Amino acid sequence: MRARELARAMPTVAVDTDAMQAAQLMAAERLPGLIVCREDGRPYTILPGSQVLRFLIPTYIQDDPRLARAFDEKASDEMVGKLARRTVHDLLPKPQDVDELPVVDGDATTVEVAAVMARMHSPLVAVVAGERVLGAITVGRLLSHLLSATSPQR
């Protein structure tokens, strides 16, 4: 089994997509992350949902989440307002924080997909063929394949 056979379609956004639109897409589809493409459509990276939160939540509260208790609903609305007039590019981790990406080639074996997820602690990898995004594989789907291959049914 190759990565291209396990991949499922997943919405993609571009680096210049409106940040609020991207967050709303993730929220509406209950996705743990989105595939981000370059302006020319080539796959670029994954935007994890937790990264959107890292952009929204003030650093001092990330450092000590108990301080969030001083935030009322109005302050919380203002925080989400930080997404206005921003793009996906603004949400992504700074390049120096990212040395590699959870992206595999369509020909990758399931063990290779598992190795990339394990190495990067990622619940999701994007599957690409050259300059085209084929879809994504979640950790649940990959485990399901790895385990069913060893069950007596097969």
Please give the residue ranges that form the binding site for a copy of itself (CB under 8 A): 20, 23-24, 26-33, 48-54, 56-57, 61-63, 65-66, 68-69, 71, 73, 75-77, 79-81, 104, 108-112, 114-123, 138-144, 146-150
Nearer to a copy of itself, 38 or 54 (CB): 54
Q: Which is nearer to a copy of itself, 24 or 85 (CB)?
A: 24
Alpha helices in 64-135 (DSSP H): 73-80, 88-91, 110-120
Which CB atom, from 65 or from 130, has the smaller least distance to a copy of itself? 65
Q: What whole-number distance in Å separates Cα of residue 129 and Cα of residue 125?
A: 13
CB of 38 to a copy of itself, least distance (A): 23
Name the minimum Å distance from CB 109 to a copy of itself.
6
Per-residue DSSP letter, 8: B
Output 69 or 94, the one with its CB closest to a copy of itself. 69
What one-letter code names the amino acid at 139? V
In the structure encoding, which two tokens stand for residue 135, read together? 């879809």
Nearest approach in angstroms of CB 122 to a copy of itself is 6
What is the amino acid identity at position 50?
S
Alpha-carbon distance of 34 to 114, in angstroms, equals 19
Phi and psi at residue 2, to the nearest 5°: -110, 160
CB of 10 to a copy of itself, least distance (A): 13
| Per-residue tokens: 32 | 């743990």
